[in-house]
Amino acid sequence: MFGRESIGHGAALESTAGSVVDIFCGVGGLSHGFVLEGFDVRAGVDVDPSCRYAYERNNHARFIAKSVKDIDADFINDLYTPGEPTILVGCAPCQPFSTYSRKRSDEKWRLLAEFGRLAHEVQPDIVSMENVPRLRTFQRGKVYNEFLDTLTTSGYAVWEGVVDCAAYGVPQTRKRLVVLASRVGPIKLVQPTHGPLDQVTVRDTIAQLPPIPAGGRDSEDPLHCASGLSSLNLKRIRAAQEGGSWRDWDDELVADCHKEATGRWYGSVYGRMSWDAPAPTITTQCNGFGNGRFGHPEQDRAISLREAALLQTFPMSYEFLPPDQRCAIAPTARWIGNAVPVSLGRVIARSVRRTLLENGYA
């Protein structure tokens, strides 16, 4: 069912670099980065069964609808291909650590400890974890430092750092915390590929798509659809400049909450993207004009799901839903916003491959 011959809807890729299991896989952004770099992605594990179609269709790997708390080392080890280097990757749900989150006591942070438990029990050759930078300071670093301690006491050489995704060709001002851990030798992230003058921009990424109105859908691309706007928000976005926000508006358009002292800090909401700069971080609410700087640079609407997916560096060929299923905007935006950008996945995969090659494992 999951033969490698049709990955990417094109020529076959040789999977000789290592055997990968992806924890908290979602719809497969991180896995797809490894797939495109020629790794043997065996399975993705996620508690959300709605991610199954996209994950299996595009990565030709098994999707397992389970909580990480319900799996053990034997379960993971049975998924790997015998004789190949073993790689465990994942991005624990980041909402508890995000600056956008108000749920400071959210129990989801414990999932990172479960990921550390699996790394300790499975002892794969390589471990990679990706998350939001605030994880470093969440609960004064306790959660993160316990995770790092689990890796180092399990015999891993560890590299960690906050990565500017735009420096690796992702068209977003997205900063992510990346951990790489190796039992086969030293490991670190490959060098950046893009400088400040050659970053991939919003124009580079979405300008070729046909225009659609707020609430509209493209007849040829079901994913190219946008949320509707109220009459008030339509007036607001028409008043917003490219790269601007609610600060550009006449006073009668500004929401009452933004007139208060505390609301004046939220300068990036109700904003338009800039054509010739990377987009802001794509979130699970990227379909909403009022949720961030998610307005299209010139069309009077929020970005479409297709535009969000492209800004997350998913290929145009990536299928999120079966062809006969109508696209629902909110759940699809959640899948896209929760994903690791595919291009960042490729950077992590290249870093893993280099370490394996340098130590005679691939």
Residue ranges of alpha helices (H) inside the chain are: 29-36, 52-59, 73-77, 110-122, 142-153, 202-206, 231-239, 256-259, 305-311, 329-338, 342-358
Integer angstrom CA distances of residue 345 from 48, 89, 248, 293, 349: 20, 10, 37, 24, 6
Residues 28 and 44 sit within 8 Å (Cβ to Cβ): yes
Strand partners for 160? 179
Residues 109 and 134 sit within 8 Å (Cβ to Cβ): no
**∠133-359-183 over CA atoms, to 5°?**
50
Could you tell me the sign of the dihedral formed by the alpha carbons of 212, 213, 218, 223, in that order?
A: positive
Return the structure tokens found at 295: 């307005």
Give me the catalytic one of 25, 91, 94, 165.
Answer: 94
- Measured in degrees and rounded to the nearest 5, phi and psi for residue 57 equal -65, -40
Name which of 245, 248, 327 is nearest 290 in CA terms: 245
Active site residue 165: no
What's the length of the chain? 362
Could you tell me which residues come within 8 angstroms of residue 300 by beta carbon, excluding any fewer than 6 positions away? 213, 214, 229, 234, 237, 238
Report d(CA 244, CA 295) in Å as an integer: 9
Q: Enumerate the active-site residues.
A: 94
